[in-house]
Amino acid sequence: MVDVLMQIDGRPANAADLGHFVLSNYGAFTSMQVEDGAVRGLDLHLARLEVEAADLFGVAVPKALLRERMRQAVGGRSGRFSLRVNLFSDAISLRAPDAVVQPRILTTLSAPASPLTTPLRLQAQVYAREAPHLKHAATFGLTRARRQGMQSGFDDALFVDGEGRISEGSIWNIGFVQGETAVWPEAPMLAGTGQTLLQRGMADFGLSSETRPVHLSDLASFDAAFICNSATPACAVAAIDGHAFPPGEAVIARLIDAWRSNPCQTI
């Protein structure tokens, strides 16, 4: 197992480097699972970082530089790891937020994340992330929502708006199964890399995909539900509040196969 290894701009991170990062949550990131120096959906992670940099800092980070920093983080190691890439800048603060600057790159290499396999019981909570199209570093609300859900006897939190329209979960996307179709909620949310990988591979396994508004009042019309993110290809949802879903083992297996059909891309 690898220790947690942190680098900023390709060099080992020290306390001085991390000072601003610790004191400010203005920034964004992406997280991925590395398998022998390659990543499923690497192109999606790079595209996400490109959008985040332009949106938050006004200057894009060249993809070649991002890949170089990621390779430096992995350091030629074989095996499986988690890799998180953060973008931040010590030129931007609450007192001086107006700088336009190429962000610094913090990489964190750690032990691989284990995919979720036990069906989840979700608590619906009225909540929406700020700037939901970005995977930003302001995670207070997400942690609080998960904590409240677990303290109420659930496994996690599912976000809905005031009208009961479903968007996303704390650290994952949710999908619903209706016959041979995976239905994704239409709402302000983060386009997940795991979600996109599933969408890319579904057709080869007899599944179609569509996006439309999904409300809590619609739950009875679905045959199953699942969550997905970069570490979990697909995990069944056992229940949302008091509504229980069938186990759906067969469709979960097909979804995992669809995810696996995406080749790993070398960093």
CATH superfamily of 120-266: D-amino Acid Aminotransferase, subunit A, domain 2 (3.20.10.10)
Low-confidence ranges of the chain (pLDDT < 50): none
| Calpha distance 26→95 (Å, rounded) | 12
| Calpha distance 156→85 (Å, rounded) | 24
Q: What is the pLDDT of residue 1?
A: 56
Which tens digit of pLDDT belongs to each residue from 127-150?
A: 999 999 999 999 999 999 999 999
Domain boundaries, the chain: 5-110, 120-266
| Calpha distance 103→263 (Å, rounded) | 30
Residues 234, 77 contacting (CB under 8 angstroms): no
Q: Per the structure block, which two tokens stand in for 97?
A: 């937020």
Q: What is the pLDDT of residue 17?
A: 86
Q: What is the pLDDT of residue 10?
A: 97
| Calpha distance 246→123 (Å, rounded) | 17
Q: What is the pLDDT of residue 61?
A: 96
Q: What is the pLDDT of residue 92?
A: 95
Q: What is the pLDDT of residue 138?
A: 93
Q: Is the backbone of residue 118 left (phi > 0), alpha (psi -120 to 50) or beta?
A: beta
CATH domain 5-110 topology: D-amino Acid Aminotransferase; Chain A, domain 1 (3.30.470)
Residues 41, 1 contacting (CB under 8 angstroms): no
